[in-house]
Amino acid sequence: MKNFTFFFLTVLLLSACGTSTKLQTGQYKGKDILIGKGHRSDLEKKYYNEWFDANYRDYKPDVQIIDKLKPVINNFKIVIVMGTWCPDSRKQVPVLFKVLYEAGNRQNPDIYFVPRKYKSYKPAKSYKIIRVPTIIVYRNDKEKGRIIESPMKSIEADLLKIMTTDDYHHKLQR
């Protein structure tokens, strides 16, 4: 019994400290939320797919911008930090995946699902997240730019500016 109690308290402490990035579920306002490192396929599962599929299907990207993204999109790595509890994440992340698909992206972005109180959550701290979702674009392991909470113009227009210029600076960036 002592060993079980010690094990239970250790697991509880580690999850409370936010040290694990293994995908798990939590609760917020009585609904399941994802916490940890995951993949797009996690958003296509029951409950999450209700908003993911609808927002993905309904978004119509600007075809002219998509055509400009096609030659450059695969030169960049994308990291997404989002909350499945967050209305902005539920709106913007499916749109991002639609844009990536239309532009011919062949890479799978890293996705970190954060808890509601994410400021002390390790991945959010390491990526210096101030709001979610945050979409971080890297080239050669160096951050090129980030879209914070919502795009300045559109996901595809902001990605194109990040990927083809050096003058993108999101209004929420410090």
Domains and CATH numbers, the chain: 18-164 (3.40.30.10)
What pTM, to 2 d.p., does this model score?
A: 0.86
Cβ–Cβ < 8 Å for 116, 123: no
Tens of pLDDT, residue by residue over 16-57, are 444 457 899 999 998 899 999 999 999 999 889 999 999 999
At 6, the pLDDT band (50, 70, 90 cuts) reads very low
Amino acid sitting at position 170: H
- Per-residue pLDDT, 3: 47
pLDDT score for 20? 58
Structure token digits, residue 105: 């992206």
Q: What is the DSSP letter of 113?
A: E
Cβ pair 48, 34 in contact under 8 A: yes
- Considering only residues 50 and 174, tell me which one the structure prediction assigns the higher pLDDT: 50
Q: Assess whether pLDDT exceeds 60 at residue 4.
A: no
Q: Quick check: 95 and 55 in contact, CB under 8 A?
A: yes
* Residues 91-136 pLDDT 10s: 999 999 999 999 999 999 999 999 999 999 999 999 999 999 999 9
